[in-house]
Every structure is written in structure tokens, then in C-alpha cells.
A and B are shown apart, each in its own frame.
Chain A
């Protein structure tokens, strides 16, 4: 039932409400009926159903949020791998620059220089 409910949540998040309703009217009804039959009292069944629903919604929300962040990053990475000659170069590990040590003062104009240098580089 959790899997069915998550599927419905995804479809609704994508605006595919018609497909979501279809699953609600068929698969979800069957899944809920099966779930009710396997749990003891009506109250326990309702509690379990609410729990599954809440967990499903939370998982879908989190998955969509992660996808919004990761998909653009993965797209850029895949695009850079598709460029001619990229296959010949070994994948360089992503180097993270160390944070500036206290006391090393840099002017705002220096930051602007770095920004303009980044803008001048071709984007992947």
C-alpha cells in the first residue's frame, strides 16, 4: 500500500492528476482493503493507514527536493563527459578549496576579479 500511495503522490506532484485518480480508484482501494484485513481493530487499521500516508508523502517530498538539486548537477556532469576529448582525460577528483585562513585579507575587488574570470570561462 505504501508503494501504491507513493506512486499517487509522485503523479500528483507532476500534475498527472488523471492518472493519480485512476490508481486511487483501483490499486489503492484494493491495497487499503488488504491492509485493513491484516490489522486487528478498526482503530489500529486507521492509525496504520494514516502512518503509511504520512510516510509516503514525506518520502515523495524529500525525493523531489533531492531531485531538484541533483538533476541539474548530474546533467552538467554528464554534459561535460560527452564533450569531445573528455573521454581521453582521466576524471579529476573534485578539489574543494580550503577555506581562507583568518588574517589573509582579500579585497572585494579581488573577489570581483575571480567572478569575472569565472564568467570568462566557457560553461560546460
Chain B
């Protein structure tokens, strides 16, 4: 098993190579090891941390995946501690005074410099002392290419000592699994026979999980998810209410509060402030039509994976279709997909959403993987 990234990689702009001839930094004597499970999302990231050999989760945070670089000329005292770089909610709060940069797009790193700063922030969240030796399992989109994976490794150089990249929908299955009930009769282990649909901001990933590690053919990643829905709503709003001046951040908030699929739900009245004045916009069709496009994108991938399951597993599989990620919060998404499958003749399908912990399942699965990984399975990050 490889224990270091020694293969040659094509040059990637903005970051040092993940391999070099220098020796790995030796952590301080007796530095505690900390394990991190990281769901690096396009819009929101989730980090869970804990010690090896323990089941406790010492850190659990969901952070907007955004970095804010303070603009030149900001008066002292405006930014807390006169910080030069802000992250997550704090960056969004100070958006007037910072340049907001999204490190990721469509599930992969788009801005390597911001990604590195963000990783450093994640590290500090997990280990405020800055002294721990950190090993991280990081979720990647289904079928992510080697270049995307290498960018994640490079963004973590000098920040984590070891890393392991695992596809997100499989981590979602691991995280969703109730370990206390695995041996109970009647409990259906999601890792044994299920189909996970992880709908994030940049990608919607589908994965067949049937008791073995999913192959490439068991996974489909669709570059259409929350951000694409926002774009459609944004365009429709500008068409219906020209010069509304609403930002994409506001559009996203409106969507997250009102998203639904299925037949049109009208009126869907949303109060906003435009040019200082309160207005009520009717958004029923705009939101519904945009979200229904997601169903049209997901459904063919869903039936493709169902068709690839063996005949002796497919009936049980159809009972275990689970939606997770931010998209699981779209009202009616489970019933609409289930009905569509039933109408198309599939045998007793059952589609359900993962529940209120939808933001944590990938990171939870990643932390479980970090705790279980053998020493020779980790990749050493040389810096």
C-alpha cells in the first residue's frame, strides 16, 4: 500500500507539488493525534474532529465555504482583531469590506490559494492550539478525477500530516449507518444495499452501495445541484421582476426557505427589501420550475444505477433510496422521486430523506473512516 504520494503529477498552478525531496515535518514530540472527517462542500463544509480510539466528537462545525480577503483601506477596528482574512459566516457578515472568494466550484477546488487558506481555517477550528498532528479523511465528488484529488492534497500540504480521499456518497452511507443497530435483526444496513443521492451545491452524486466499495460504474456525478437551481431562479426573477437588485446570496436564502418539487405551489409570496422598500414577490413558479429541473437531471441517473443492480438485490435496493445533502431539504423531493419510480413500474420503491443531520453525514462517515483506517492506508503529505 502506498504511504506517500511519490508519483509524478502534472504541474498545477498556484500550489507547490504535493511531493518533494524534503523530509516530512516531524510533529513535536508527543504531539497528540487528531482525526478529522471533512466534507469540503461547494457552499458549505462540515468538519468533525475526534481522537483516535475514542467515539467522542470533540468538534462539529458547519462552515460556509467562503474566504473573505479584507479590502485595502478598511479603517482599523471595523474588522474584529483587524484580521486580514475572514472565513465562513464572519466573511459573509463583513461582505461589504472583503472580497469574497469561493474556494470550490462544482465540488472541486477552483481557487487553490483560497482553498489553502480555508484548509488552514478548518485546521484551526479542529485544533485551536495548532499543536496536534492531524490526519484527515476528505470527501470528494463521485468519480472525481486525479487532478481534482491532487488539488485537495496540495491545499492540505503542511496543514494535515496524512490524508485519505473517499467519494462523498459512500461516506454518506457510512455516516448514515447507525452502528449501534447493525447487528439488530430487521435493521437494514445502508452500506449493504442502498442507493444514496447526495445533492450538494455544486454536484449531485448518486452511488450504489452494496456491501463492497463502489466502482466507477456504481457512481454518477451530475454537475447540477443547488448552485444551478439558484442560477435558474435568478434568471427567472430578473425576467419577472427586472432590476430587482437581489443578490445571489439572497436568492439562495429564498430557495433554502421555500424550495419544493412537484406541482406548482402558488402563491409563494416572499417579502424582500429592494432599494430600501419592502416588496412582496410571488415566486411559486420560479422556485418550483427550477427545482423540478433537478428531478429531470437526477431521475435518468437513478434509473441507470437501478438497472445495473443484480436481480437478486434490486427489490431490496428499491426500498433503500436515500437522499442526503442540502438538496434533501427540498420539500417533496422524496415523494416525487418515489412516485415517478412507481409510475414507471418499479417494484414498491421507497425514497426517503436522510433527516435533520443531512449536513453531517458525509463528515461523519469520513470521521468513521479516519478512525478505522489502517496505518498503511493513509497518504503522507510531504511538505
Contacts and interface: CB of A to CB of B under 8 A. Distances in A.
Interface of A: 61-62, 65-66, 68-70, 73, 76, 94, 96-102, 104-109, 111-116, 118, 120
B213 A111 contact: yes
Q: Please indicate which of the listed interface residues B2, B297, B312, B316 has the most CB atoms of chain A within 10 Å of its own CB.
A: B297
Interface stretch (B94-102, B250-258, B370-378): B370-378
Most chain B CB atoms below 10 A, which of A76, A100, A106, A120: A100
Interface stretch (B68-76, B126-134, B152-160, B298-306): B298-306
Most chain A CB inside 10 Å of its own CB: which residue of B191, B192, B299: B192
Contact of A106 (B170, B211, B317): B211
> Secondary structure of the B side of the interface?
mixed
A121 B222 CA distance: 24
Contact of A112 (B166, B189, B296, B297): B166
Contact of A116 (B1, B310, B312, B317): B1
B164 interface: yes
10 contacts: A61-B296, A62-B296, A65-B296, A97-B310, A98-B310, A98-B313, A100-B192, A102-B189, A109-B372, A118-B215
A123 to B, nearest CB: 8
Say which size band chain B's interface belongs to: 35 or more
B227 to A, nearest CB: 16
A56 to B, nearest CB: 14
A99 B372 contact: no
Given A73-B217, A100-B210, 18 more contacts: A61-B293, A62-B296, A65-B299, A65-B301, A68-B297, A96-B309, A98-B310, A99-B309, A99-B310, A99-B313, A99-B316, A100-B192, A100-B193, A102-B192, A104-B211, A107-B372, A111-B191, A118-B213
A30 to B, nearest CB: 28
A2 B312 CA distance: 42
Nearest to A61: B296
B369 interface: yes
A91 B260 CA distance: 45
Interface string B145-183: 000000000000000000010100010001000000010
Contacts of A120: 2
B7 to A, nearest CB: 11
A99 B374 contact: no
A98 B213 CA distance: 13
Contact of A108 (B211, B299, B372): B372
Contacts of B309: 96, 99
B212 A100 contact: yes
Contacts of A73: 217
A109 B372 CA distance: 6
Contacts of B116: none
A69 B373 contact: no
B368 interface: yes
A112 B369 contact: yes
A100 B191 CA distance: 9
B119 interface: no
B304 to A, nearest CB: 6
Contacts of A115: 166, 213
B310 A96 contact: yes
B308 interface: yes
Nearest to B307: A96
